[in-house]
Amino acid sequence: MNLNDWALSLITFLPLVVAALVIAVPKADEDLQKLIALVGSLIPLGLVVWVLANFDYDRSGELQFSVNRGWIDLINSRFHIGIEGIGLPMLVLSCLIIPLCIVYSWNHFPDPHNPKAFLALMLLLETGMNGTFISQDLILFFVFFELVLLPMYFMIGVWGGPNRQYASLKFFLYTMFGSAFMLLGFLALYFKAGRTFDIAQLMTNVETAGISTNTQRLIFAGLFLGFAIKVPMFPFHTWLPDAHTEAPTQGSVILAAVLLKLGTYGFIKIAIPILPEGARFWAPVIGVLAAIGILYGALGCLAQTDFKRLIAFSSVAHMGYVMLGISTLTTYGINAAVFGMVAHGFITGMLFFCAGSLKERFHTLEINRMGGLLKTMPKLGWVLGFASMASLGLPGLAGFWGEFPAILSAYKPHPSLNESLFRVFMVVAAVGTVFAAGYLLWLYQRTAFGEPKAEWAGHEFHDVSTEEWIAWAPMLIAIVVLGIFPALLFGITDGAVTNLVDHVTKVLGS
């Protein structure tokens, strides 16, 4: 068995097998369930490390570890998987977050407990997420993209907060609405561009097939709807605060760290390379929505009284930066976007972990009822401060490299785009960073500084526990390391992004 061929399949489907094993364990034996789930999620992590070690970084624009087998012959859809410079960081992120969430869950299973089902759902999520990042066939991508919906729906709906039923339904329907139109877009591509669902083939076919500009724009609109709802971009974002607020901590972390990236990844991997003409046409719209999202998210944050809801709105703003970078269609912007995706994954994931731990101690997420965190729980207070600083884009931490280059890239967008328009976006985004600093520092001030609130007088708080440290340490380290050595990540993505932008330029130029 050649591991080169099997690595990606194992990374994707092993969690599914482990989930089945967890379900098979008797209900009472919770320790065994946790152990199997943890080991089962560490194996894909090990494999992805092996992939990292064997990845040829000089050819990061090319598909590696690829497998291409028949799947649904009738519609010429194939089991075509592989990984390149853009998917790899996402895959690593997804494989890392799941075991960390399992560790965090160890003694923190949300109500109604049932670790067996909870662990199985997390592993199922991993299968869906990993599969999305390695798919090189649109139908395969669609299946994984949708597969992610199910476990998250149950995580929010069963283990969520008081308003969980509404939130889970909203999450499900919004995403499904988008993906239905995305599927129509895929099918239109299939019929217009040589009856294939293979992403690489479609890239060349669309170029040569002579599809009318209007059709390309229309198809892009379909894909846009699917991905923009998942990101979520400004007018489609309303499901996100509800989903985040109601979801259990682990669900919020996975949602913020990986699920949102499925949308931005779709733009970079599918929509833009296959339909450069559509991308050119819609880029100003994406830019406007991104800029609005940045401001709207930031202003929304200022108005929140709920810790988790605030971070959810900050996600809207951060994904705005990512989308702004993407909309410039430049290597600079898209590299920044991929960096932003990874950085946001770690940082916002971390903030949601903090939120979960605060909730567990205070039994509330009302910001006004917290305070004096540095006195009652200094360690947790410092971790929260660290994550907030990273989130507002402090140089030297990971958040900076996602935000700052994205803003800069809008100064000089792709030559086919309107330069002055994007400079306006740049100014708006820059103003957004000020707001970001404002709401995060204000949040930190209200929660960490000052004296503990009178209602908690005499209340004994546990500071950060061991399993919290284990779950958080890798993320904290990653935030620092990526902040100091951004080349680690840019080195992986740059080759793939350059390829992509070259392709776009070639098509738009001709």
Name residue 306's beta-bridge partners.
366
CB of 43 to another protein, least distance (A): 22
**Cis amide linkage into residue 232, ω under 30° from 0:** yes
Sign for the pseudo-dihedral over CA of 502, 504, 507, 510: negative
> Looking at beta carbons only, is 226 or 402 nearer to another protein?
226
For helices 149-159 and 115-134, angle between their N-to-C axes, nearest 10 degrees: 150
Is residue 147 a contact point for another protein (CB under 8 A)?
yes
Out of 138, 183, 229, 471, name the contact with another protein by CB under 8 A.
Answer: 183
Is residue 150 a contact point for another protein (CB under 8 A)?
yes
For helices 164-192 and 149-159, angle between their N-to-C axes, nearest 10 degrees: 170
Distance of CA 454 to the CA centre of its chain: 39
CB of 218 to another protein, least distance (A): 9
- Residues 53-72 binding another protein (CB under 8 A) are 70-72
Out of 6, 106, 109, 181, name the contact with another protein by CB under 8 A.
Answer: 181
Is residue 122 a contact point for another protein (CB under 8 A)?
no
> Looking at beta carbons only, is 54 or 165 nearer to another protein?
165
How far is the C-alpha of 141 from the C-alpha of 205, rounded, in Å?
A: 19
How far is the C-alpha of 279 from the C-alpha of 299, rounded, in Å?
A: 29
> Looking at beta carbons only, is 139 or 291 nearer to another protein?
139
Is residue 190 a contact point for another protein (CB under 8 A)?
yes
For helices 331-362 and 398-409, angle between their N-to-C axes, nearest 10 degrees: 140
Is residue 21 a contact point for another protein (CB under 8 A)?
no
CB of 18 to another protein, least distance (A): 17
> Looking at beta carbons only, is 75 or 473 nearer to another protein?
75
CB of 177 to another protein, least distance (A): 5
Instruction: State the residue for tokens 């299939």.
Output: 190
**DSSP annotation string for 297-365:** HHHHHHT--BHHHHHHHHHHHHHHHHHHHHHTTSHHHHHHHHHHHHHHHHHHHHHHHHHHHHHHHHS--
- Per rule CB under 8 A, count of chain residues that contact another protein: 34
Is residue 89 a contact point for another protein (CB under 8 A)?
no
**Cis amide linkage into residue 112, ω under 30° from 0:** yes
How far is the C-alpha of 174 from the C-alpha of 226, rounded, in Å?
A: 9
Is residue 35 a contact point for another protein (CB under 8 A)?
no
How far is the C-alpha of 206 from the C-alpha of 224, rounded, in Å?
A: 17
Task: Specify the stretch interacting with another protein by CB under 8 A; choose among 95-103, 148-156, 286-294, 486-494.
Answer: 148-156
* Residues 6+ positions from 320 with CB-CB distance below 8 Å: 233, 234, 290, 291, 292, 293, 294, 297, 429, 432
> Looking at beta carbons only, is 138 or 389 nearer to another protein?
138
Task: Specify the stretch interacting with another protein by CB under 8 A; choose among 137-145, 253-261, 351-359, 498-506.
Answer: 137-145
Out of 30, 146, 360, 463, name the contact with another protein by CB under 8 A.
Answer: 146
CB of 469 to another protein, least distance (A): 33
CB of 74 to another protein, least distance (A): 4
Write out the residues near another protein by the rule CB under 8 A: 70-75, 139, 142-144, 146-147, 149-150, 153-154, 157-158, 164-165, 168-169, 172-173, 176-177, 180-181, 183-184, 187-188, 190-191
